[in-house]
Structures are given as structure tokens and as C-alpha cells.
Amino acid sequence: MNCIFCQIVAGTLPAAVVYRDEHCMAFMDVHPLGAGHVLLIPQSHVEKLEQLPGFVRQHLYQVFDGLLAAQRRAGYGVEGTHLLVNDGRATNQHIPHAHLHLIPRKRGDGLGFAGRLLLHFTGVFGRRAKLEVLQQQAAGIAEQVRVPWVSETPIGGR
């Protein structure tokens, strides 16, 4: 398979993994728009989110929400985060595998961010981040992941 994301899911390409379960996988973007930039993908290959079964899509959104909270607890995106979905080729989706971006932002990063975003839109992407750096960021975020759909309070309040 020549889909980069499917190769990451299969373990044939390296990735700095933040989270993985039976339906989805989150890992650091190798061309980050900022420190802590995470991609969340379904494990099954679909180009658009609407092609996923509803329960998988709902699960993906729950994980997306949990990852956002984990990023912030790890110190990324405390001031703000771009939640970006490029769903289909007309949206500059360069890898035809559904994916969601969690891009931490901070005050004053506008000019550098705009330049990196322009590179992303053109498909040039710029320089790759070092895997060791991405693995450190992934570990910090992964430590903060709380499974959001499991209540911390047992049913009945005890």
C-alpha cells in the first residue's frame, strides 16, 4: 500500500505515537506547524470522514477532544489550538486518508505560523522535524491522555 498513513498504521514507517486503539491512531506531524502538532487518523483507509461508520466517526471525535485536553495538560496549545480537518482533495488534503490536525498556537507565532501553513497548502511542507524531538513531544502528550469516554466516577456515584 502506498498510503503513508496506512504504512504508519501497519508499522512499516516510523511515527512518534501519542495514542492508539482499535479504531484510530494519533501521532506527531513530521512537518509540524508548531510544537505539539498532532494528527489523528482512523486506522481504516478512507479518504473522507463520511466514509467511516458513524460509531467510528463519533469515537474519533471523542479521542480528538481528549487529545486536545492532553496537549494542554502537557503545555501545548494552552493559549489556543487550531482544530483543522482537510476532508477531501478540494481542501488541500495531500494524503488521501482522513485525518484531523490539532495545532497548538501561542501569542506572537503568527508570522512563522503563516509561512509554515503556506508551505503546507502548497504541498512543499518544509523541513521535517527530527524523530527524537517528535518522540519527546509525543511522550509528554501521551502521559496526559485520559480516556474521555470512560467516567472517572462509577455509575451510582461511588
Mark whether 120 is an active-site residue: no
Q: Which of 97, 99, 101, 120 is catalytic?
A: 99
CA distance 130 to 28: 11
Q: What do you get for the CA distance between the two ends of the chain, in Å? A: 49
Q: SS3 of 20, please?
A: strand
Cross-strand bridge partners of residue 40: 26, 100
Question: Coil, strand or helix: which one is 105?
Answer: strand
For residues 71 and 32, give the distance between their C-alpha atoms in angstroms, rounded to a whole number: 14
Catalytic residue IDs: 99
